[in-house]
Structure 1
Amino acid sequence: MIGLGFIQDTLEPLRRGGFDLAPALEAGGFRESELDLPGFRLSAEQYGRLWLSIAQIMQCEYFGFGARPMAPGSFAMLCHAVISSQTLEHAVRRSLRFLNLMLAEPKGELVIEGALARVILREISPPRLPFAYRTYFLLLHGVVCWLVKRQLEIRELHYRGSLPAGREDHRDFFGTPVSFERPETMLVFDRDMLALKVRQTEKTLQGFITGAPANILGRYRYDRGAAAATRRLLRELPPAEWPSFAQMAVKLNLSEPTLRRHLAGDGESFSEIKEEIRRKLALDWLARTTKPVGQVAADLGYTEPSAFHRAFHKWAGMSPGEFRRSRTK
């Protein structure tokens, strides 16, 4: 469900431009007087219809937040432009090039440094509204998650400008805390995600475009689905005490085939989730603690140090000792 604050944010460009709200409200299936009701919300489908109506009225799918209008049909063209990408990195770069051509500003750039990848929005104009940044990242995140058929965890999210009074809802984006008054607006995620293969095809593209934007408003939240539930349970326990796949299915009140199917639907597997958590713990412990490497391996559930060394070299391209020394230089 979409809260009142974000509904008002979506209507504000219409008000600011002096447009008649009536057609958009009709498309969303509600009356303006209902906006005064406590706890008023819209379903993703209603909000999606509202979104599309406003884009058509304003002739801009970015609601006038860019230096140039993003004409209706641009999102569909973006999807066509990226569907032939081979990896997530190719898709992100193509998406940013397309959006840069459409909008001129903000100008998105993918910056890779160490274990992190950052999508930075370059601007020479004053900071935009938080809703403008949220909308940009919602579109980008929704498209690339769909392409690789999985939820992508956002590690950090920073906005230029300040948090509007009374809008604490802007502090969260799909389960990721948002910080304000930062030098640059950026979305940060793990670099290794860039190697994920694109799994959608031209055959599935039209269905995605037809269902947008409602299908990207909640489908790829990182805090939903079987993968998210599995991840939460594993994080609550030391790796050495992690349940087996069969035990995890019991904890989630699912049969093993059903859990396997749900995880596949989220684009993940049990072993991939375990490896992801182990990798993040290993990087954090080696960078932030003085735990001996052997103890790190044992705490991660490795019975043989050599197995941990092989896994870590695959994750970081260097040995645990080399990684730790690189963090202290």
Structure 2
Amino acid sequence: MISLGFIQDTLEPLRRGGFNLEPALQAGGFSEADLALPGFRLSAEQYGRLWLRIAEIMQCEYFGFGARPMAPGSFAMLCHAVISSQTLEHAVRRSLRFLNLVLAEPKGELQIEGSIARIVLRETSQPRPAFAYRTYFLLLHGIVCWLVKRQLEIRELQFRGPLPPGREDHRDFFGTVVSFERPETTLVFDAEFLALKVRQTERTLQTFITGAPANILGRYRYDRGATLATRRLLREHPAAAWPSFAEVAVRLGMSEPTLRRHLAGDGQSFSEIKEEIRRKLALDWLSRSAKPVGEIATDLGYAEPSAFHRAFHKWAGMSPGAFRRTHGK
């Protein structure tokens, strides 16, 4: 489900441009009065229809955030441009070249340093709203995840602009902590992903394009099925007391092979889910609390602090202490 804050973010470009909101609201199946309801949300499908109608009204699929408008149909052309890619790296480079040509700015650049890969957005203008950066990465992340048929974990996100007032929800994106007012807008991920083979074909392309952007939101932004149930179950317990895979399968009413198959269908494994939760907790505690590093290691289920330090260096490319000095309050 899409929360009220992000619905308002999506409508803001229309308001800013002086457009009539009513056609967009009708497409999303709600009224302006609904926006005042506590806890109001939209399904991914409703939000997708809202997104498409706004793009049509503004004649820009990037809602006017680029130096040039992204004309309706551009996302479909991007999909056609990358479908023949052999690897994820090839697809990312093609995607960035296409978006750079269409938008002019922000201008995306792929950087690879050892085990770390970064997508850096270059800008000569003032920082864009947080929603503009989210939208750029949502589209890019969605298409590359679809191409390789798996959810790709993001290590870190940094935005140039400030955190919008009262919008703590912007601090999380795809399960990753977001930091603000950084020198550049940067998305960081494991460079090993770049070697993944593209698994989609021309035969599956049209279905993907027809379902976008709702399918991107539904499949890659929000978890579902066994993966969601597994995550929820693990989050009910301290990491140091997590149930075993066999115990999780019993709790979910599945055999171990069935659960393993369902998780694999979502592009995840049990160990990857545990590591993802540990990583997010570690980043959150280090950036928002004064909890000692040794205590964090124990709470995350590490028998030795050194094991936590090794794991954290793999996640963030730096030690826990260095991360806290850079990203802490």
TM-score under structure 2 length normalisation = 0.77
| Residue aligning to 1:186 | 186
Q: What are structure 2's unaligned runs of at least 5 residues?
A: 280-292, 295-302, 309-313, 315-329
| Residue aligning to 2:15 | 15
Asked if the contact 1:175/1:223 (under 8 Å) is kept, the reply is no
Larger radius of gyration: 1
| Residue aligning to 1:42 | 42
What amino acid sits opposite 2:136 in the alignment? Answer: Y
Alignment of 1:1-329 (within 5 A): 1-221=1-221, 226-227=226-227, 236=239, 243=244, 246=246, 249-269=249-269, 273=272
CA deviation digits over 1:22-50, x for unaligned, max 9?
11111011111211122111111111000
* Deviation >3 Å, runs of 4+: 221-238, 245-248, 272-277
- Give 1:210 shift: 0.7
| Residue aligning to 1:327 | none
Give the distance between the partners of 1:198 and 1:13, measured in 2 at CA: 34
CA separation of 1:230/1:31 partners in 2, compared to 1, >3 Å: closer, same or farther? closer
Q: What are structure 1's unaligned runs of at least 5 residues?
A: 281-287, 290-294, 301-315, 317-329
Q: Percent identity at matched positions? A: 78
Give the distance between the partners of 1:145 and 1:254, measured in 2 at CA: 27
Give the distance between the partners of 1:299 and 1:156, measured in 2 at CA: 21
**3-state SS, counterpart of residue 220 of structure 1:** helix
CA separation of 1:274/1:52 partners in 2, compared to 1, >3 Å: closer, same or farther? closer
What amino acid sits opposite 1:186 in the alignment? Answer: T
Give the distance between the partners of 1:268 and 1:52, measured in 2 at CA: 30
Give the distance between the partners of 1:202 and 1:34, measured in 2 at CA: 40
CA separation of 1:274/1:42 partners in 2, compared to 1, >3 Å: closer, same or farther? closer
Deviates more, 1:52-61 or 1:187-196: 187-196
What amino acid sits opposite 2:216 in the alignment? Answer: I
Give the distance between the partners of 1:24 and 1:247, measured in 2 at CA: 47
CA separation of 1:113/1:17 partners in 2, compared to 1, >3 Å: closer, same or farther? same
- Give 1:256 shift: 2.9
| Residue aligning to 2:286 | none
**3-state SS, counterpart of residue 55 of structure 1:** helix
Give the distance between the partners of 2:117 and 2:129, measured in 1 at CA: 24
CA separation of 1:228/1:157 partners in 2, compared to 1, >3 Å: closer, same or farther? farther
Give the distance between the partners of 1:162 and 1:64, measured in 2 at CA: 19
